[in-house]
Structure 1
């Protein structure tokens, strides 16, 4: 019920979970529909962290190598060098 209620919001930037159970930590991390999930801690951001949310909290990420992906286009180039 807790996960269903948490996911029922139109926003999804960050969720916080406090639990000692390792199994519950893994379950909640997978089940919560948020761009970031903090488990047993308050500080969640920093330079190497892909900061961003889902739903009405935005799309994409900023920071880390994932933040630059929105500004790049992938191109495959196949050359015959013979």
Structure 2
């Protein structure tokens, strides 16, 4: 459970060079959307970690996953 004083996660994106955040080589910035709304899961077959995110729209639910590669994680502070 999140602490009561925890702010709502931002919808701001971190996309250097305007790369798409679901591109295979896109950086993972945990403070930015969509990664700040992902859960970290482990594959029961191979043991690899992946990010799981559910996109909810007007008439659909789109479940997305992305393999988590440590080399792509960037600790980028939120812009003021």
TM-score by length of 1: 0.22
- More helix by proportion, 1 or 2? 1
Give the TM-score, by structure 2 length: 0.23
